[in-house]
């Protein structure tokens, strides 16, 4: 939420006007040259500094780009409290769930090649998924089969019924699948979780043992990792490449995202120390176990920089093309930011719908936001956030590293 509030300030700060099309590259520009107020951008500095002083996070990198040029790229605060290392503009962050729109883009690429359709059942790519079941909570029912103990919590009590239809690609892209998105499915998932040397190919088929949290398509509930891990596996099956190789060859290299990777950058001085908040202030935290260089999670495994991610955002703001390289068609980008899960669906907040791997602002007044209607983006659990405003050709990014 801190990151979201910081980015909201960027939205207020950017006094933008509609002008021109995005350029092919992303050079630096004076804010006024792209229709942004320098004076108002200074408010972002003030807001970030207030949060650093308050101990919300150690430091941040913020970026605003418009019409293909970067009008703001600033680093504030520290990368590491122990060594008092100043934050760098090229700092590397664990972007966690900001991995999801990248994997969503990979699925859209496969759709444009005719290898995947939104309505495809997952069993087309993962045959084990043919007969999924749905959990029904029941206080007096015995613990469900496969429920694994963990953290001292009692196994949830439930029974299962057949899924009324198969889970589809669209369900996973929009978090309407019910896959590992609640107490029961999350609990049972512990019994099938990937081991330290296992890959998506090992884990994804075992998810057929995990009951869905609800009937597919009936509500919105966030699938933190599993849903987009399955989508990553679909990319592997349809492209014939491991997801890390596919993204490097088809997305990161063409967009010159040189610092975006699944491999933890050990001993790189640009890697920001991760922190969590506690009663005693910010405390260092270890990386999640799946960030091991073997398991390439589509739900949250990537490392990146603000400028790298800006290349991705600018490609989307420019209708799928950047620097002479076309990644998606304009129509595919339009679909990505379209309403597939409306704000009337249970689980969604008023004014904010969900597209294909991104939140979509559909009613700024109902959402209490300054963002333009049609803006889309997503966040990461460790304090990263981005949005794309296709109407104003604007991209904004804030990166911290505090849960």
Tokens of 390: 């296709």
Q: What is residue 154's predicted lDDT score, i.e. its pLDDT? A: 80
Q: What is the DSSP letter of 113?
A: T
Euclidean distance between the first and the last CA atom of the chain, given in angstroms as a whole number: 10
Return the structure tokens found at 247. 């993204």
Residue 19 has pLDDT above 80, yes or no: no
Contact in structure between 379 and 364 (CB atoms under 8 Å): no
For residue 228, pLDDT over 90 is answered with yes
CB 336 within 8 A of CB 106: no
pLDDT tens per residue across span 193-203: 999 999 999 99
Residue 143 pLDDT > 70, yes or no?
Answer: no
Q: How confident is the model at residue 321 (pLDDT cuts 50, 70, 90)?
A: very high
pLDDT tens for 343-387 read 999 999 999 999 999 999 999 999 999 999 999 999 999 999 999
* Interatomic CA distance for residues 357 and 380, integer angstroms: 13
| Tokens encoding 7 | 């980015």
Check residue 150 and give its pLDDT.
53
Its sign, for the CA torsion 356, 359, 363, 366, is positive
Whole-structure pTM value: 0.91
Binned at pLDDT 50, 70 and 90, residue 141 comes out as low
Task: List pLDDT tens digits, range 25-72.
Answer: 489 999 999 999 999 999 999 999 999 999 999 999 999 999 999 999
Q: Report the sign of the C-alpha dihedral through residues 52, 55, 61, 65, in that order.
A: negative
What would the pLDDT profile of 271-307 be if each residue is shown by its tens digit? 999 999 999 999 999 999 999 999 999 999 999 999 9
20 pLDDT more than 60: no
Mean pLDDT, the chain, whole residue set: 92
The pLDDT assigned to 23 comes to 32
Over 70: is that where the pLDDT of 5 sits? no
């Amino acid at each position: 939420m801190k990151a979201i509030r910081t980015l909201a300030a960027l939205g207020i700060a950017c006094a933008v006007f509609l002008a021109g099309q995005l350029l092919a590259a992303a050079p630096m520009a004076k804010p006024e040259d792209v229709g942004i107020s320098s004076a108002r951008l200074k408010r972002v500095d003030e807001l970030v500094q207030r949060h650093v002083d308050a101990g919300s996070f150690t430091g941040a990198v913020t970026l605003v780009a418009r019409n293909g040029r970067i009008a703001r790229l600033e680093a504030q605060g520290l990368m590491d409290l122990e060594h008092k290392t100043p934050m760098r503009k090229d700092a590397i962050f664990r972007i966690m769930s900001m991995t999801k729109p990248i994997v969503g883009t990979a699925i859209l690429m496969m759709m444009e090649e005719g290898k995947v359709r939104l309505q495809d059942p997952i069993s087309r790519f993962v045959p084990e998924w043919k007969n999924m079941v749905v959990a029904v909570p029941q206080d007096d029912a015995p613990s469900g089969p496969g429920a694994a103990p963990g953290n001292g919590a009692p196994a949830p009590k439930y029974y299962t019924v057949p899924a009324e239809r198969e889970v589809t690609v669209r369900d996973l892209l929009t978090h309407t699948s019910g896959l590992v998105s609640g107490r029961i499915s999350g609990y049972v998932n512990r019994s099938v979780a990937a081991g330290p040397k296992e890959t998506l190919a090992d884990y994804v088929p075992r998810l057929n043992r995990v009951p869905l949290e609800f009937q597919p398509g009936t509500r919105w509930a966030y699938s933190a990792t599993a849903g987009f891990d399955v989508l990553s596996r679909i990319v592997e099956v349809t492209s014939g490449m491991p997801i890390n190789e596919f993204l490097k060859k088809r997305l990161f290299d063409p967009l010159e995202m040189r610092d975006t990777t699944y491999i933890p950058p050990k001993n790189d001085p640009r890697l920001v120390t991760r922190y969590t908040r506690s009663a005693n202030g910010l405390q260092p935290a270890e990386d999640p176990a799946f960030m091991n260089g073997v398991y390439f999670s589509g739900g949250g495994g990537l490392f990146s920089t603000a400028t790298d991610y800006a290349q991705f955002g600018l490609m989307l703001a420019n209708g799928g093309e950047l620097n002479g390289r076309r990644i998606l068609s304009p129509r595919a980008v339009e679909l990505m930011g379209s309403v597939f899960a409306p704000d009337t669906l249970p689980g969604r907040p008023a004014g904010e719908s969900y597209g294909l791997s991104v939140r979509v602002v559909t009613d700024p007044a109902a959402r209490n936001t300054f963002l333009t209607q049609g803006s889309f983006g997503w966040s990461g659990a460790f304090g990263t956030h981005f949005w794309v405003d296709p109407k104003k050709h604007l991209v904004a990014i804030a990166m911290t590293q505090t849960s």
